[in-house]
Amino acid sequence: MDSLFYAASGPRSDDRFPFIDAHIHLDLYEEAVQHRLIKEAAELGAVALIGVSMDLASSRKNLALSEQYPGLVVPAFGYHPEQPVPSPTETEALLSWIEENASSMAAVGEIGLPYYSRLEAEERGEAFDLSPYIALLERLLQLAGRLGKPVVLHAVYDDADLVCDLLDRHGIEKAHFHWFKGPEHTVRRMAERGYFVSFTPDLLYEQEIMELARYYPAELVMAETDGPWPFEGPFAGQPTHPGMVREVAAAWARLHGITEEEGARILFNNTRRFYRI
């Protein structure tokens, strides 16, 4: 396919394997790019794009996209933690809006804790108060529990165990840790709980991610792009496109010694099962 956005790093035996991008920020692409991207993804075999949100404005945009592309754009509504905590008024507005539009969303997300913001602050010698982020996350987890929705989590390294504690506290069983990185004991804990993880295109070139992909149970894995976040390796210089999910699935299959078709089918079915698509 002649695409402005995506060129596969190698030939696929069948480019028509169905796929789902389990985590993409569609609203962060320029508007003209959004529509081209979504249409191209469908032509490449995308069955769904899980459009995660940054805040209330982002959630509104993803809802609008889902109405324009019903069934293809599947939105999740939430508040990304790598930004300042919203004011009490903003928090209440977000929570109320999510509850009002719960029937239109697949999950509460993206939510979690600000690992990278905190690390940057500490490197600058600045104090960082995590408590308001924990309080916000608890409110969002409570909402997800009340609505019976899964959660999409930004929780890596030191934060992941804390988030696992909060999931236990609030009785959340369906959790998707996107682009997860963390210590072995946390990985074991997450796998035992039946939490899902998803791999991005860095699976093709990051050894740490390859090791996680080898270990994590095959029935609990998905593929994502986290677009428009850019990648290196074979994707250097390319705008991030949902079609890259096919490359992730092929790389995961190679790590497990199975065919690309089988790998694509496993990740596709896992994602469809988790998000009830």
pLDDT at 249 over 60: yes
Average pLDDT over residues 141-162: 97
- Of 14 and 26, the structure prediction assigns the larger pLDDT to 26
- pTM score of the predicted model: 0.95
pLDDT at residue 2 tops 60: no
- Does the pLDDT value for residue 10 go beyond 50? no
Q: Number of helices (H) and strands (E) in the chain: give both, helices first.
A: 10, 8
Q: Which CATH superfamily is domain 19-275 in?
A: Metal-dependent hydrolases (3.20.20.140)
Question: What pLDDT does 1 receive?
Answer: 37
User: How many other C-beta atoms are found inside a 10 Å radius of the C-beta of residue 14?
Assistant: 10
98-122 residue pLDDT tens: 999 999 999 999 999 999 999 999 9
Q: Is 146 helix (H, G, I), strand (E, B) or coil?
A: helix
24-56 pLDDT, tens digit per residue, is 999 999 999 999 999 999 999 999 999 999 999
d(CA 216, CA 211): 9
User: In the predicted model, what is the mean pLDDT of residues 187-192?
Assistant: 97
Confidence at residue 177, expressed as pLDDT on a 0 to 100 scale: 98
Q: Is the pLDDT of residue 183 over 60?
A: yes
- What is the helix (H) or strand (E) element at residue 223, kind and residue range? strand 221-223
Whether 132 has a pLDDT exceeding 80, the answer reads yes
Q: Are 152 and 107 in contact (CB under 8 A)?
A: yes
* Average pLDDT across the chain, whole number: 94
Reported confidence tier of residue 11, pLDDT bands at 50, 70, 90: very low
**Are the C-beta atoms of residues 62 and 108 closer than 8 Å to each other?**
no
Q: Which residue has the higher pLDDT, 1 or 35?
A: 35
Alpha-carbon gap, residue 234 to 143, rounded angstroms? 40
* H or E stretch covering 47: strand 46-51
pLDDT-based confidence at 4, cuts 50/70/90? low
Q: What is the pLDDT of residues 232-244, one digit of tens each?
A: 999 999 999 999 9
- Report, as an integer, the average pLDDT of 52-61: 98
Say which DSSP state 87 is in: P
Domain borders along the chain are: 19-275
Q: Kindly state the average pLDDT of the residues 206-217.
A: 97
